[in-house]
Chain A
Amino acid sequence: MTRSEFEEKLFGVLKWISIVFFTIISLFPLVYMLALSFKPIAELLTNPAQWWPSLEQVLSFETYKAVLRPVGEGGFGFTVFIKNSAIVATVTVVTTLAVGILAAYAVARLNFFGKKTISVAIILVYLFPVVVVSIPLFVMFSRIGIRSSLYALMIVYLASTLPVAMYMLRGYFQSIPASLEEAGQVDGLSRMGVIRKITIPLAMPAIAAVGLYVFMIAWNEFLYALLFVLENRDLWTLSLGVAQLDNQEVPKTMLMAGSVIISLPVIFLFFVAEKFLTEGLTAGGVKG
């Protein structure tokens, strides 16, 4: 056997081993998380090797009920956190898209003074340490008395998702032929009309993908939530709620149930729009 033949064989086998390896490491933690979230903790502690739940255990939804029940009834009040997270993330998507679409259009299509500086500056901002910005914002929002509110979170999430949104949308707007917009202008549309009636409908796939991204970022965010609303339980977002389950008194199976709850919408959205998202990811290089 020549070296070439030997390598063909060797790497042919290694390739399949690698594919299996990567599939397992990507999928197994999620399967384990899901399985444990249904398991009664006592059973797990007595026999950790038996981590697979029985069908009745799955159907009883015991841990999930406990996590979702209001605090007054001995639960962890997750329904409130889900609501808070949903509101904050949705508002962030709307505001970021509104501001981001206009700004991205300006940078992609129009000529104006300082355009280059502004677009480069906004990208650079994106590389700055979040922690460094978070301390003064913490002080600033405390001073004006809005720190402990969902509005504070909406505002900082707008600021932190805007650069990505602009960057991704700009790329897409540039790929739309300018002649289509010119045709609209010839037909008597105003500049704003062109954006509303031509550019936005054409860019809808990209706008949807960016919207999903922004939703995921806001939904998953942890540091600002910790800094801003920790002392008021009614304002906790889902990530804070799950983090609070990470303590000695709470069974780890409930921690897993909380983790499943926060992951579900994200995984669902990802399945719905995988193609858009992966394309957007390599185009925009989303922060992680």
Chain B
Amino acid sequence: MSDTKLKRQKKSGLKRRESRFGVALILPAVIVVLLLVILPLFWNIALSFQSARLINIQDVKLVGFDATLRNFERVLSDREFWPVLRTTFIYTIFGSILSILMGLWAALALRKAFRGRAIVRGLVLFPYVVPVIAAAFVWQVMLNPNFGITNVWIERLGGTAIDFLGTKSYDLSVLGIFTMSIPLALITVIVFEGWRYFPFAFLFILAALQSQSADIEEAALVDGATISQRFWYITIPALKPVLSVLFLLRFIWTFNKFDDIFLLTGGGAGTKVITVKIVDWLLGRGDVGAAAALGLILAVILGVVVGLYFKFFYVEDTA
């Protein structure tokens, strides 16, 4: 055997050992994800095609196509299905946009150093850090029509108490000229969404702003560009990649979100979203098959929307 061949063999032996070690290290994680995420995902598909009820859950088969499409029929013909889908999209789109705009605004305000900036930066993360359960309930109490602080102020200003989370549509009088009907509870949960998740957008945008080189802005300043011009022609274009990632993440997570609306309104007053409806099917009506079917519909819709987003709107980070 020649010398080089021996060396190569030794090297490939090392490689094989490294490979085996790597597989051994990652194996537990792979097993956890396979058993608790991938397998359930596939089983969800199987469940959505069989008639499974909560009361006879012990008889649920691993794979069974006895009900064929009956679950989908039941879910799609449900009187609430289309309104719920519509609400989900309105909530997701406006909630995502609001949280990103607020985050952008906060990041711009805190962009330059000032005394106490570190403290303010920590404080504005609170809405995001506090457990959702506490955040939702404190909003509920603040907006309570009987003793909430919001209505105390409204009454002090001469208005009448408003049940923000319990009013499906509210007749808003615009300057006394005409009245407009607005979906008040839905708007309120969207504002909650903006409030709770702006710190997330804020952190990302602030990091992006601070990593930008100051050269271009200084050059623009020398050329006499005003603050608003620098914002529109320099800052915003430079932020496009981070804004588009943020929108994608916020969209996906808000679309899948259950806790916030469930805790704020329980899905009442025109705020029911798909996830709340799924838990409705599961715990309220004990219909596992229908819940699984609606879950599958949720996943498919999300997949299609994300696919379209990648095709048409996503701005890749070319920097």
Contacts and interface: CB of A to CB of B under 8 A. Distances in A.
A102 B22 CA distance: 9
Nearest to A219: B131
Given A33-B134, A129-B299, A162-B33, A139 B47 contact: yes
A239 interface: yes
A100 interface: yes
B291 A135 contact: yes
Interface stretch (B2-10, B23-31, B77-85, B174-182): B23-31
B292 interface: yes
A132 interface: yes
A155 B23 CA distance: 22
Interface in A239-263: 239, 242-243, 246, 252, 255-256, 258-260, 262-263
Contacts of B133: 220, 222, 239, 242-243, 259, 262
Interface range on chain A: under 10, 10 to 19, 20 to 34, or 35 or more? 35 or more
B37 A103 contact: no
A121 B29 CA distance: 12
Interface string B25-43: 1101110110011111101
Contacts of A156: 36
B282 interface: yes
B319 to A, nearest CB: 16
Contacts of A132: 41, 44, 295-296, 298-299
B106 A262 contact: no
B229 to A, nearest CB: 9
Contacts of A7: 226-228
Nearest to A31: B138
Nearest to B281: A135
Given A106-B26, A128-B41, A282-B203, A266 B299 contact: no
A266 B130 contact: yes
Nearest to B302: A129
B309 interface: no
Given A29-B138, A48-B152, A115-B22, A133 B41 contact: yes
B130 A162 contact: no
A276 interface: no
Contact of B130 (A139, A142, A263): A263
A103 B25 contact: yes
A111 B19 contact: yes
A220 B295 contact: no
B193 to A, nearest CB: 11
Interface of B: 15, 18-23, 25-26, 28-30, 32-33, 36-41, 43-44, 47, 52, 57-58, 60, 105-106, 108-110, 120, 122-135, 137-142, 144, 146-149, 151-152, 156, 195-197, 199-200, 203-204, 207, 224, 226-228, 249, 252-253, 255-256, 258-259, 263, 275, 278-279, 282-283, 288, 291-292, 295-296, 298-299, 302
17 contacts: A26-B127, A33-B134, A106-B23, A111-B19, A112-B21, A118-B30, A122-B33, A132-B44, A132-B296, A132-B299, A133-B36, A133-B40, A216-B129, A259-B137, A270-B129, A278-B203, A281-B200
Interface of A: 3-4, 7-8, 11, 14-15, 18-19, 22-23, 25-27, 29-30, 32-33, 36, 44-45, 48-49, 51, 99-100, 102-103, 105-107, 110-113, 115, 118, 121-122, 125, 127-133, 135-140, 142-143, 155-156, 158-159, 162-163, 166, 191, 216, 219-220, 222-223, 226-227, 230, 239, 242-243, 246, 252, 255-256, 258-260, 262-263, 266-267, 270-271, 274, 278, 281-282, 285, 287-288
9 tightest A-B CB contacts, nearest first: A112-B22, A110-B22, A103-B29, A259-B134, A159-B36, A48-B147, A18-B109, A136-B40, A106-B25
Given A136-B39, A255-B141, A281-B200, 20 more contacts: A15-B108, A25-B195, A26-B124, A27-B123, A32-B138, A44-B147, A48-B149, A102-B28, A128-B41, A128-B299, A132-B295, A132-B296, A136-B40, A136-B44, A139-B47, A158-B32, A216-B129, A227-B282, A260-B134, A263-B131
